[in-house]
């Protein structure tokens, strides 16, 4: 009988501990949701999940796999508690055991423009194709499949005197897959990527987060059965594929315009121009990073997103920007041993930032870990320092790294100029 009392006590203790933990998690999620709404950050920027309350039982599977911590459980149902950080990769959709999630673009209040494309991934402009996130597909395996199928369609248009059969713009899952298909089918191709690394949105995932949960088919390579794989392993695999196949990628090359010619298109970049029979757009929807347009910005020490704070141990770091991403970068790096952090913002005060980030920044500033320079702007980036103007005076700061968190310039206006038609989505698939 004593054993029964013991077992009952153990079970009750487990239930009590679980209930306390659950209640604490629910209250945290509610708090984050309120903070997001109060800060004006409740609108997702792109593809994002919506939850069917009739099917969702609040299992929390979606919260576990979300790399950005954008999903929580409120009132027993899944909800976007940090919508501004959702990047639309769709891991939550694959993880939900009850099919309670759909991925949609836009909301009832804010529409998002999605290009009209055919079943062959061709836009209304003959010869210009779109695959992957830009066309509405954030899932890695499906984006890769779209890139492969788009090249199948482009193969039908290879006749002509153009220098390249296809110029592929963007080196995420769709662009990589399209590049491999181009090699496989012996097409004359040019693959460009505006950043200095491949992977697209996956490259910007937090460390050790799950990046893929389903097999993907790649030309030359075959069917790749990853199951669940962390970001680092997936990027390592892709880099290995590039090495083994000889796939040619032109990094730090940004598309600036596309012009129609008699035999195809002239694609102009920051490094030159290419005549192509077809163009395949596989860039993401985050857009081209907004730049400072100052001397020295092309230096390799300038980056546009924080990936790993630990890599900046013992370095002089300048963070430029006034949004949450800038504040979070400055705060995270300030915790690294030996680092010095300066946060430069052009306005007199921060707006539309979370109160938590504002408080942590103030604490870091008071502790001397972060120097905040308002009403300031970068004038020049040099090898070992930066020139900043603040309050009408210029000063030189020792510097090893510049992180620019100034948002992105979406490609929509450029594509509309080419003639590509868009449809505005208001919370629809």
Does residue 31 form part of some domain? Answer: yes
**For the residues 149-171, what does the mean pLDDT come to?**
89
Q: What is the DSSP letter of 200?
A: G
**Residue 416 and residue 268 in one domain:** yes
Q: What is the DSSP letter of 428?
A: B
Q: How do residues 172-218 score in pLDDT, each as one tens digit?
A: 889 999 999 999 999 999 999 988 777 666 665 555 555 555 678 88
Q: Mapping DSSP to helix (H, G, I), strand (E, B) and coil, where does residue 183 land? A: helix
Does residue 296 form part of some domain? Answer: no
Domain boundary among 52, 80, 104: 104
**Residue 284 and residue 313 in one domain:** no
CA distance 79 to 25: 13
Q: How do residues 205-221 score in pLDDT, each as one tens digit?
A: 555 555 555 678 889 99
CA distance 146 to 120: 9
Does residue 282 form part of some domain? Answer: yes
Backbone dihedral angles phi then psi of residue 406, each to the nearest 5 degrees: -115, 20
**Residue 165 and residue 258 in one domain:** yes
**Residue 266 and residue 128 in one domain:** yes
**For the residues 296-318, what does the mean pLDDT come to?**
90
**For residues 123 and 94, is the Cβ–Cβ distance under 8 A?**
no
Domain at 68, CATH number:
3.30.70.20
Q: How do residues 377-409 score in pLDDT, each as one tens digit?
A: 999 999 999 999 998 899 999 999 999 998 777
Q: What angle do helix axes 140-154 and 173-184 make, rounded to 10 degrees? A: 40
CA distance 169 to 194: 9
Q: What is the DSSP letter of 46?
A: S
Does residue 175 form part of some domain? Answer: yes
pLDDT of residue 16: 65
Domain boundary among 82, 104, 126: 104
* Pure H helices in 100-227: 140-154, 173-184
The share of the chain scoring above pLDDT 70, in percent, equals 86
**Residue 270 and residue 170 in one domain:** yes
For residue 17, the surrounding DSSP H or E stretch is helix 2-38
Domain of 339, in residue numbers: 302-406
Domain boundary among 84, 104, 124: 104
Does residue 366 form part of some domain? Answer: yes
**Residue 174 and residue 274 in one domain:** yes
Inter-CA distances, 14 with 22, 215, 330, Å = 12, 38, 40
**For the residues 399-427, what does the mean pLDDT come to?**
84
Does residue 294 form part of some domain? Answer: no
Query: By C-alpha distance, which of 304, 305, 308 is closest to 292?
Result: 304
pLDDT of residue 287: 66
Confidence bin at 40 (pLDDT 50/70/90): low
Average pLDDT over all residues of the chain: 84
pLDDT of residue 252: 86
Domain at 211, CATH number:
3.50.50.60
Is 90 exceeded by the pLDDT of residue 122?
yes
CA atoms within 13 A on the CB side of 327: 21
**Residue 391 and residue 419 in one domain:** no
**Residue 15 and residue 75 in one domain:** yes
**For residues 124 and 135, is the Cβ–Cβ distance under 8 A?**
no
Find the angle CA(310)-CA(87)-CA(35) to the nearest 5 degrees.
Answer: 80
**Residue 131 and residue 253 in one domain:** yes
**Residue 122 and residue 203 in one domain:** yes
Find the angle CA(296)-CA(301)-CA(304) to the nearest 5 degrees.
Answer: 95
355 dihedral zone (left: phi>0; alpha: psi -120 to 50; beta): alpha
Number of domains within the chain: 3
Does residue 297 form part of some domain? Answer: no
Is 80 exceeded by the pLDDT of residue 341?
yes
Q: What is the pTM of this model?
A: 0.67
Confidence bin at 95 (pLDDT 50/70/90): confident
**Residue 268 and residue 143 in one domain:** yes
Is 90 exceeded by the pLDDT of residue 233?
no
**Residue 339 and residue 414 in one domain:** no
Quickly list DSSP for 374-426. -SEEEEEE-SSEEEEEETTEEEEEE-SEEEE---EE-SHHHHHHHT--EEEES
């Amino acid at each position: 009988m004593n054993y029964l009392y013991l077992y009952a006590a153990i079970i009750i203790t487990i239930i009590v501990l679980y209930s306390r933990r659950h209640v604490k998690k629910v209250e945290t999620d509610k708090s984050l949701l309120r903070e997001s709404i109060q800060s004006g950050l409740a609108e997702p920027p792109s593809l994002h999940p919506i939850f069917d309350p009739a099917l969702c039982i609040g299992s929390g599977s979606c919260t576990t796999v979300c790399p950005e911590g954008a999903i929580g459980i409120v009132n027993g149902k899944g909800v976007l508690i940090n919508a501004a950080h959702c990047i639309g990769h769709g891991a939550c959709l694959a993880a939900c055991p009850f099919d309670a999630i759909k991925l949609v673009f836009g909301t009832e209040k804010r529409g998002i423009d999605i290009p009209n494309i055919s079943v062959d991934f061709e836009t209304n402009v003959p010869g210009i194709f779109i695959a992957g996130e830009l066309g509405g597909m954030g899932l890695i395996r499906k984006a890769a499949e779209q890139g492969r199928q788009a090249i199948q369609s482009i193969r039908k248009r290879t006749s002509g005197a153009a220098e390249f059969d296809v110029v592929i713009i963007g080196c995420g899952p769709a662009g990589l897959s399209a590049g491999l298909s181009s090699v496989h089918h012996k097409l004359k191709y040019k693959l460009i990527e505006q950043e200095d690394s491949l992977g697209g949105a996956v490259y910007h995932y937090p460390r050790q987060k799950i990046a893929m949960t389903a097999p993907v088919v790649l030309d030359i390579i075959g069917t790749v059965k990853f199951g669940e794989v962390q970001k680092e392993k997936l990027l390592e695999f892709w880099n290995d594929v590039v090495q083994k196949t000889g796939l040619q990628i032109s990094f730090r090359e940004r598309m600036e315009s596309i012009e129609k010619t008699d035999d195809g298109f002239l694609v102009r970049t920051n490094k030159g121009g290419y005549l192509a029979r077809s163009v395949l757009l596989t860039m993401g929807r985050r857009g081209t990073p907004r730049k400072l347009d100052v001397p020295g910005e092309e230096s390799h020490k300038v980056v546009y997103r924080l990936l790993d704070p630990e890599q900046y141990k013992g370095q002089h770091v300048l963070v430029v920007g006034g949004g949450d991403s800038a504040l979070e970068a400055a705060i995270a790096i300030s915790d690294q041993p030996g680092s010095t952090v300066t946060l430069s913002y052009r306005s007199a005060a921060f707006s539309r930032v979370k109160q938590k980030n504002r408080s942590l920044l103030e604490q870091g500033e008071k502790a001397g870990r972060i120097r905040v320079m308002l009403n300031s702007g970068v004038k020049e980036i040099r090898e070992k320092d930066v020139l900043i103007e603040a309050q009408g005076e210029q000063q030189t700061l020792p510097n090893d790294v510049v992180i620019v968190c100034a948002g992105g310039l979406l490609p929509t206006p450029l594509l509309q100029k080419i003639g590509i038609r868009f449809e505005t989505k208001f919370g629809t698939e």
